[in-house]
Chain A
Amino acid sequence: MSDESIRHAPPAWLLGLREAIPLLGGYVPVAISFGLIAAQAGFSTWEIAAISTLIYAGASQFLFVGMAAGGAPLWLTVAMTLLINVRHMVYAPNLAPWLTDSRWWPWLMHGLTDQVFALAHARLPQIATPQRLGWFTGAALLAWASWVAGSILGAVAGEWLTRRWPLAGEVMPFALPALFLVLLAPRFTSFRWSLALGVSVIAALALTLGGLTNVSIPLAAACGMLCFHAVRQRPRIAGRKGP
Protein backbone atom coordinates (compact mmCIF):
# COMPACT_ATOMS: atom_id res chain seq x y z
CA MET A 1 0.00 0.00 0.00
CA SER A 2 1.47 3.39 -0.94
CA ASP A 3 1.76 6.34 1.46
CA GLU A 4 -0.83 8.19 -0.59
CA SER A 5 -3.42 5.39 -0.36
CA ILE A 6 -2.81 5.05 3.41
CA ARG A 7 -3.42 8.81 3.83
CA HIS A 8 -6.80 8.59 2.08
CA ALA A 9 -7.89 5.33 3.74
CA PRO A 10 -10.18 5.38 6.79
CA PRO A 11 -8.43 5.10 10.19
CA ALA A 12 -7.22 1.55 10.79
CA TRP A 13 -9.40 1.03 13.90
CA LEU A 14 -12.47 2.09 11.92
CA LEU A 15 -11.62 -0.33 9.11
CA GLY A 16 -11.23 -3.13 11.67
CA LEU A 17 -14.51 -2.19 13.29
CA ARG A 18 -16.27 -2.17 9.91
CA GLU A 19 -14.82 -5.50 8.85
CA ALA A 20 -15.84 -7.13 12.13
CA ILE A 21 -19.52 -6.21 11.65
CA PRO A 22 -20.38 -9.62 10.08
CA LEU A 23 -19.26 -11.22 13.37
CA LEU A 24 -22.15 -9.52 15.14
CA GLY A 25 -24.68 -11.67 13.30
CA GLY A 26 -23.19 -14.71 14.98
CA TYR A 27 -22.22 -13.17 18.33
CA VAL A 28 -25.35 -11.31 19.37
CA PRO A 29 -27.92 -14.16 19.11
CA VAL A 30 -25.55 -16.59 20.88
CA ALA A 31 -24.74 -13.99 23.56
CA ILE A 32 -28.47 -13.41 24.10
CA SER A 33 -28.91 -17.17 24.58
CA PHE A 34 -26.02 -17.18 27.06
CA GLY A 35 -27.49 -14.28 29.04
CA LEU A 36 -30.88 -15.98 29.15
CA ILE A 37 -29.50 -19.36 30.26
CA ALA A 38 -27.18 -17.81 32.87
CA ALA A 39 -30.05 -15.72 34.28
CA GLN A 40 -32.21 -18.85 34.50
CA ALA A 41 -29.32 -20.58 36.29
CA GLY A 42 -29.46 -17.90 39.00
CA PHE A 43 -26.71 -15.45 37.99
CA SER A 44 -27.51 -11.73 38.28
CA THR A 45 -27.25 -9.39 35.28
CA TRP A 46 -24.01 -7.80 36.39
CA GLU A 47 -22.46 -11.18 37.24
CA ILE A 48 -23.34 -12.30 33.71
CA ALA A 49 -21.75 -9.13 32.31
CA ALA A 50 -18.61 -9.83 34.39
CA ILE A 51 -18.37 -13.45 33.14
CA SER A 52 -18.74 -12.34 29.50
CA THR A 53 -16.24 -9.51 29.94
CA LEU A 54 -13.59 -11.53 31.78
CA ILE A 55 -13.79 -15.07 30.37
CA TYR A 56 -15.06 -14.05 26.88
CA ALA A 57 -15.17 -17.50 25.32
CA GLY A 58 -18.56 -18.66 24.02
CA ALA A 59 -18.77 -22.43 24.41
CA SER A 60 -16.80 -22.54 27.65
CA GLN A 61 -19.03 -19.88 29.26
CA PHE A 62 -22.10 -22.07 28.64
CA LEU A 63 -20.24 -24.95 30.23
CA PHE A 64 -19.07 -22.77 33.16
CA VAL A 65 -22.54 -21.57 34.18
CA GLY A 66 -24.07 -25.01 33.53
CA MET A 67 -21.56 -26.82 35.75
CA ALA A 68 -21.55 -24.12 38.43
CA ALA A 69 -25.35 -24.04 38.61
CA GLY A 70 -25.41 -27.85 38.69
CA GLY A 71 -23.20 -27.85 41.80
CA ALA A 72 -20.06 -29.33 40.19
CA PRO A 73 -16.78 -28.73 42.09
CA LEU A 74 -15.41 -25.33 41.11
CA TRP A 75 -11.91 -26.65 40.34
CA LEU A 76 -13.47 -29.09 37.84
CA THR A 77 -15.59 -26.30 36.35
CA VAL A 78 -12.47 -24.17 35.78
CA ALA A 79 -10.49 -27.14 34.42
CA MET A 80 -13.21 -28.05 31.90
CA THR A 81 -13.56 -24.40 30.85
CA LEU A 82 -9.84 -24.20 30.13
CA LEU A 83 -9.81 -27.57 28.39
CA ILE A 84 -12.36 -26.32 25.85
CA ASN A 85 -10.21 -23.24 25.25
CA VAL A 86 -6.94 -25.14 24.69
CA ARG A 87 -7.46 -24.88 20.92
CA HIS A 88 -6.83 -21.13 21.22
CA MET A 89 -3.14 -21.87 21.82
CA VAL A 90 -2.41 -22.24 18.11
CA TYR A 91 -4.09 -18.98 17.10
CA ALA A 92 -1.63 -16.30 18.26
CA PRO A 93 1.52 -18.02 16.88
CA ASN A 94 -0.21 -18.11 13.48
CA LEU A 95 -0.69 -14.34 13.61
CA ALA A 96 2.75 -13.55 15.10
CA PRO A 97 4.61 -13.04 11.79
CA TRP A 98 2.29 -10.11 10.97
CA LEU A 99 2.28 -8.44 14.37
CA THR A 100 4.37 -5.38 15.17
CA ASP A 101 6.68 -4.89 18.15
CA SER A 102 4.03 -3.14 20.25
CA ARG A 103 3.74 -4.29 23.84
CA TRP A 104 -0.05 -4.13 23.55
CA TRP A 105 -0.33 -7.29 21.46
CA PRO A 106 -0.23 -9.88 24.29
CA TRP A 107 -3.00 -7.99 26.11
CA LEU A 108 -5.03 -7.68 22.93
CA MET A 109 -4.97 -11.48 22.69
CA HIS A 110 -7.82 -11.43 25.23
CA GLY A 111 -9.96 -10.66 22.18
CA LEU A 112 -8.56 -13.53 20.10
CA THR A 113 -11.69 -15.67 19.79
CA ASP A 114 -12.20 -18.28 17.06
CA GLN A 115 -13.94 -15.78 14.81
CA VAL A 116 -11.54 -12.88 15.39
CA PHE A 117 -8.64 -15.25 14.64
CA ALA A 118 -10.25 -16.33 11.36
CA LEU A 119 -10.78 -12.71 10.33
CA ALA A 120 -7.32 -11.54 11.42
CA HIS A 121 -5.56 -14.50 9.78
CA ALA A 122 -7.04 -13.51 6.44
CA ARG A 123 -6.81 -9.72 6.76
CA LEU A 124 -3.61 -8.87 8.69
CA PRO A 125 -1.26 -9.91 5.85
CA GLN A 126 -3.15 -7.57 3.49
CA ILE A 127 -2.97 -4.55 5.84
CA ALA A 128 0.00 -2.17 5.95
CA THR A 129 2.23 -2.86 8.96
CA PRO A 130 1.61 0.46 10.80
CA GLN A 131 -2.17 -0.07 10.50
CA ARG A 132 -2.30 -3.57 11.98
CA LEU A 133 -2.49 -2.67 15.69
CA GLY A 134 -5.34 -0.24 15.06
CA TRP A 135 -7.18 -2.67 12.78
CA PHE A 136 -6.99 -5.52 15.29
CA THR A 137 -8.00 -3.24 18.19
CA GLY A 138 -11.09 -2.02 16.30
CA ALA A 139 -12.15 -5.50 15.20
CA ALA A 140 -11.53 -7.17 18.57
CA LEU A 141 -13.21 -4.40 20.60
CA LEU A 142 -16.37 -4.49 18.50
CA ALA A 143 -16.60 -8.26 18.84
CA TRP A 144 -15.98 -8.08 22.61
CA ALA A 145 -18.47 -5.25 23.15
CA SER A 146 -21.15 -7.05 21.12
CA TRP A 147 -20.64 -10.22 23.15
CA VAL A 148 -20.95 -8.39 26.49
CA ALA A 149 -23.90 -6.26 25.32
CA GLY A 150 -25.67 -9.33 23.90
CA SER A 151 -25.19 -11.21 27.20
CA ILE A 152 -26.70 -8.32 29.18
CA LEU A 153 -29.58 -8.05 26.72
CA GLY A 154 -30.19 -11.79 27.06
CA ALA A 155 -30.21 -11.55 30.86
CA VAL A 156 -32.61 -8.62 30.88
CA ALA A 157 -34.93 -9.38 27.99
CA GLY A 158 -33.87 -12.72 26.48
CA GLU A 159 -37.17 -14.46 26.96
CA TRP A 160 -39.17 -11.60 25.46
CA LEU A 161 -36.77 -11.26 22.50
CA THR A 162 -36.84 -14.95 21.57
CA ARG A 163 -40.67 -14.94 21.77
CA ARG A 164 -41.01 -11.70 19.78
CA TRP A 165 -38.52 -12.50 16.94
CA PRO A 166 -38.03 -16.26 16.82
CA LEU A 167 -36.78 -16.19 13.22
CA ALA A 168 -34.05 -13.59 13.96
CA GLY A 169 -32.37 -16.11 16.25
CA GLU A 170 -32.37 -18.63 13.42
CA VAL A 171 -31.31 -16.33 10.56
CA MET A 172 -28.64 -14.04 12.07
CA PRO A 173 -26.15 -16.79 13.08
CA PHE A 174 -25.78 -17.68 9.38
CA ALA A 175 -23.45 -14.65 9.19
CA LEU A 176 -20.73 -16.84 10.74
CA PRO A 177 -20.60 -19.68 8.17
CA ALA A 178 -20.94 -17.06 5.42
CA LEU A 179 -17.96 -15.15 6.83
CA PHE A 180 -15.87 -18.31 7.25
CA LEU A 181 -16.67 -19.30 3.66
CA VAL A 182 -15.46 -15.94 2.36
CA LEU A 183 -12.28 -16.22 4.43
CA LEU A 184 -11.61 -19.80 3.29
CA ALA A 185 -12.51 -19.54 -0.42
CA PRO A 186 -9.17 -17.98 -1.50
CA ARG A 187 -7.28 -20.82 0.20
CA PHE A 188 -8.54 -23.52 -2.18
CA THR A 189 -5.46 -23.03 -4.32
CA SER A 190 -4.33 -26.61 -4.98
CA PHE A 191 -5.61 -30.19 -4.80
CA ARG A 192 -3.63 -30.72 -1.61
CA TRP A 193 -5.09 -27.71 0.18
CA SER A 194 -8.60 -28.31 -1.18
CA LEU A 195 -8.57 -31.89 0.11
CA ALA A 196 -7.21 -30.95 3.55
CA LEU A 197 -9.66 -28.05 3.96
CA GLY A 198 -12.59 -30.11 2.64
CA VAL A 199 -11.85 -32.99 5.01
CA SER A 200 -11.62 -30.57 7.97
CA VAL A 201 -14.98 -29.00 7.09
CA ILE A 202 -16.77 -32.35 6.67
CA ALA A 203 -15.18 -33.89 9.77
CA ALA A 204 -16.16 -30.86 11.90
CA LEU A 205 -19.71 -30.98 10.57
CA ALA A 206 -20.00 -34.73 11.21
CA LEU A 207 -18.52 -34.49 14.73
CA THR A 208 -20.85 -31.61 15.63
CA LEU A 209 -23.88 -33.52 14.35
CA GLY A 210 -22.64 -36.47 16.39
CA GLY A 211 -22.78 -34.33 19.55
CA LEU A 212 -19.01 -33.83 19.91
CA THR A 213 -19.09 -30.05 19.43
CA ASN A 214 -16.41 -29.24 22.00
CA VAL A 215 -13.72 -31.47 20.51
CA SER A 216 -14.79 -31.17 16.89
CA ILE A 217 -12.53 -28.21 16.00
CA PRO A 218 -9.15 -29.69 17.03
CA LEU A 219 -10.13 -33.21 15.88
CA ALA A 220 -11.34 -32.02 12.47
CA ALA A 221 -8.21 -29.89 11.99
CA ALA A 222 -6.09 -32.95 12.87
CA CYS A 223 -7.94 -34.99 10.20
CA GLY A 224 -7.22 -32.25 7.65
CA MET A 225 -3.58 -32.21 8.71
CA LEU A 226 -3.30 -35.99 8.12
CA CYS A 227 -4.71 -35.55 4.59
CA PHE A 228 -2.35 -32.67 3.92
CA HIS A 229 0.68 -34.79 4.76
CA ALA A 230 -0.69 -37.95 3.08
CA VAL A 231 -0.95 -36.11 -0.24
CA ARG A 232 2.61 -34.83 0.07
CA GLN A 233 3.93 -38.36 0.53
CA ARG A 234 2.10 -39.80 -2.50
CA PRO A 235 4.58 -38.73 -5.23
CA ARG A 236 7.46 -40.23 -3.23
CA ILE A 237 5.74 -43.66 -3.20
CA ALA A 238 5.02 -43.38 -6.92
CA GLY A 239 8.67 -42.39 -7.44
CA ARG A 240 9.90 -45.70 -6.03
CA LYS A 241 8.24 -47.59 -8.90
CA GLY A 242 10.15 -45.57 -11.52
CA PRO A 243 13.65 -46.20 -12.82
Chain B
Amino acid sequence: MSGAMWLAVMAAALGTLALRALPLVWMRRRLRRSEDDPGLDAMPPWLGVLGPLMIAALFGVSLVPQRQDPVGWLATLIGLAVTLMAWRRTRTLGWPVMAGVVAFGLVAIVARLG
Protein backbone atom coordinates (compact mmCIF):
# COMPACT_ATOMS: atom_id res chain seq x y z
CA MET B 1 0.00 0.00 0.00
CA SER B 2 1.21 3.50 -0.77
CA GLY B 3 1.59 6.17 1.89
CA ALA B 4 -1.65 7.78 0.73
CA MET B 5 -3.50 4.48 1.07
CA TRP B 6 -2.19 4.04 4.63
CA LEU B 7 -3.42 7.53 5.39
CA ALA B 8 -6.85 6.59 4.03
CA VAL B 9 -6.92 3.45 6.21
CA MET B 10 -6.01 5.50 9.29
CA ALA B 11 -8.63 8.14 8.47
CA ALA B 12 -11.34 5.49 8.02
CA ALA B 13 -10.24 3.77 11.25
CA LEU B 14 -10.17 6.96 13.36
CA GLY B 15 -13.44 8.17 11.83
CA THR B 16 -15.15 4.86 12.63
CA LEU B 17 -13.82 4.94 16.21
CA ALA B 18 -15.09 8.51 16.58
CA LEU B 19 -18.54 7.49 15.30
CA ARG B 20 -18.65 4.75 17.91
CA ALA B 21 -17.02 6.47 20.90
CA LEU B 22 -17.92 10.19 20.78
CA PRO B 23 -21.68 9.62 21.19
CA LEU B 24 -20.82 7.73 24.38
CA VAL B 25 -18.91 10.74 25.73
CA TRP B 26 -21.93 12.95 24.92
CA MET B 27 -24.37 10.54 26.57
CA ARG B 28 -22.25 10.18 29.71
CA ARG B 29 -22.21 13.98 30.12
CA ARG B 30 -25.99 14.02 29.66
CA LEU B 31 -26.41 11.28 32.26
CA ARG B 32 -24.25 13.20 34.75
CA ARG B 33 -26.28 16.36 34.12
CA SER B 34 -29.53 14.48 34.66
CA GLU B 35 -28.26 13.35 38.08
CA ASP B 36 -27.91 17.01 39.07
CA ASP B 37 -31.16 18.06 37.40
CA PRO B 38 -34.00 15.56 38.04
CA GLY B 39 -36.22 17.37 35.51
CA LEU B 40 -33.92 16.36 32.61
CA ASP B 41 -34.56 13.02 30.87
CA ALA B 42 -31.37 10.95 31.05
CA MET B 43 -32.08 9.09 27.83
CA PRO B 44 -33.95 10.85 25.01
CA PRO B 45 -37.07 8.67 24.53
CA TRP B 46 -36.50 8.23 20.77
CA LEU B 47 -33.04 6.84 21.45
CA GLY B 48 -34.36 4.17 23.79
CA VAL B 49 -36.83 3.03 21.12
CA LEU B 50 -34.27 3.14 18.32
CA GLY B 51 -31.90 0.62 19.97
CA PRO B 52 -34.19 -2.45 19.78
CA LEU B 53 -35.42 -1.38 16.32
CA MET B 54 -31.83 -1.31 15.02
CA ILE B 55 -31.41 -4.88 16.31
CA ALA B 56 -34.66 -5.85 14.55
CA ALA B 57 -33.29 -4.31 11.33
CA LEU B 58 -30.02 -6.23 11.75
CA PHE B 59 -32.09 -9.39 12.13
CA GLY B 60 -34.01 -8.60 8.93
CA VAL B 61 -30.77 -8.03 6.95
CA SER B 62 -29.21 -11.23 8.29
CA LEU B 63 -32.25 -13.30 7.25
CA VAL B 64 -31.24 -13.24 3.58
CA PRO B 65 -29.50 -16.60 3.01
CA GLN B 66 -26.13 -16.87 1.28
CA ARG B 67 -27.80 -18.78 -1.55
CA GLN B 68 -31.17 -17.24 -2.34
CA ASP B 69 -32.91 -20.34 -3.70
CA PRO B 70 -35.83 -22.41 -2.32
CA VAL B 71 -33.44 -24.56 -0.27
CA GLY B 72 -31.81 -21.48 1.29
CA TRP B 73 -35.18 -19.99 2.26
CA LEU B 74 -36.58 -23.30 3.53
CA ALA B 75 -33.47 -23.87 5.66
CA THR B 76 -33.83 -20.31 7.02
CA LEU B 77 -37.49 -20.85 7.97
CA ILE B 78 -36.84 -24.20 9.64
CA GLY B 79 -33.72 -22.86 11.36
CA LEU B 80 -35.71 -19.92 12.79
CA ALA B 81 -38.54 -22.18 13.98
CA VAL B 82 -36.08 -24.52 15.74
CA THR B 83 -34.21 -21.56 17.27
CA LEU B 84 -37.45 -20.11 18.62
CA MET B 85 -38.62 -23.46 20.03
CA ALA B 86 -35.24 -24.01 21.71
CA TRP B 87 -35.36 -20.49 23.17
CA ARG B 88 -38.87 -21.03 24.57
CA ARG B 89 -37.69 -24.23 26.19
CA THR B 90 -34.30 -23.12 27.57
CA ARG B 91 -34.45 -19.28 27.72
CA THR B 92 -30.67 -19.28 27.17
CA LEU B 93 -28.44 -17.68 24.54
CA GLY B 94 -26.13 -20.40 23.24
CA TRP B 95 -28.25 -23.55 22.91
CA PRO B 96 -31.00 -22.05 20.72
CA VAL B 97 -28.36 -20.63 18.35
CA MET B 98 -26.60 -23.98 18.12
CA ALA B 99 -29.92 -25.81 17.56
CA GLY B 100 -30.87 -23.33 14.82
CA VAL B 101 -27.54 -23.67 13.00
CA VAL B 102 -27.72 -27.49 13.18
CA ALA B 103 -31.30 -27.45 11.82
CA PHE B 104 -30.33 -25.03 9.04
CA GLY B 105 -27.30 -27.16 8.20
CA LEU B 106 -29.28 -30.41 8.12
CA VAL B 107 -31.88 -28.98 5.74
CA ALA B 108 -29.19 -27.49 3.49
CA ILE B 109 -27.07 -30.65 3.44
CA VAL B 110 -29.97 -33.07 2.91
CA ALA B 111 -31.50 -30.89 0.17
CA ARG B 112 -28.26 -30.20 -1.67
CA LEU B 113 -26.64 -33.61 -1.39
CA GLY B 114 -29.87 -35.61 -1.66
Chain A interface residues toward B at CB < 8 A = 18-19, 21-22, 25-26, 43-44, 47, 50-51, 54-57, 60, 64, 68, 74-75, 77-78, 81-82, 85-97, 99, 105-107, 109-110, 112, 114-115, 117-118, 121, 123, 167, 169-185, 187, 193, 196-198, 200-205, 208-209, 213, 216-218, 220-221, 224-225, 228
CB distance from A13 to the nearest CB of B (A): 17
A-B contact pairs, 29 of them (CB 8 A): A25-B97, A74-B4, A74-B7, A77-B12, A85-B20, A94-B50, A96-B28, A97-B43, A107-B21, A109-B24, A110-B17, A118-B55, A169-B66, A171-B105, A171-B109, A176-B62, A177-B63, A177-B80, A178-B104, A181-B84, A183-B93, A200-B60, A204-B57, A217-B58, A220-B56, A220-B57, A221-B56, A225-B46, A228-B49
Chain B interface residues toward A at CB < 8 A = 1, 4-5, 7-13, 15-17, 19-21, 23-28, 31, 42-43, 46-68, 72, 75-76, 79-80, 83-84, 87, 93-94, 96-98, 100-101, 104-105, 108-109, 112
Within the assembled complex, what's the spacing in Å between the Cα atoms of A181 and B19?
26
Which of B12, B66, B79 is within 8 Å of A60, CB to CB? B12
Within the assembled complex, what's the spacing in Å between the Cα atoms of A123 and B55?
13
Within the assembled complex, what's the spacing in Å between the Cα atoms of A26 and B65?
12
Residues of A within 8 A of B108 (CB): 167, 170-171
Given contacts A201-B59, A217-B61, A220-B57, contact A178 B47 (CB under 8 A): no
- Interface of B: prevailing SS: helix
Docked-complex contact A82 and B64, CB < 8 angstroms: no
Docked-complex contact A109 and B21, CB < 8 angstroms: yes
- Interface of A: prevailing SS: helix
Within the assembled complex, what's the spacing in Å between the Cα atoms of A90 and B24?
9
CB distance from A83 to the nearest CB of B (A): 10
Which of A90, A174, A203, A204 is within 8 Å of B47, CB to CB? A90
Docked-complex contact A96 and B15, CB < 8 angstroms: no
Which of B7, B24, B31, B56 is within 8 Å of A200, CB to CB? B56
Docked-complex contact B87 and A182, CB < 8 angstroms: yes
Residues of B within 8 A of A64 (CB): 8-9, 12
Docked-complex contact B55 and A54, CB < 8 angstroms: no
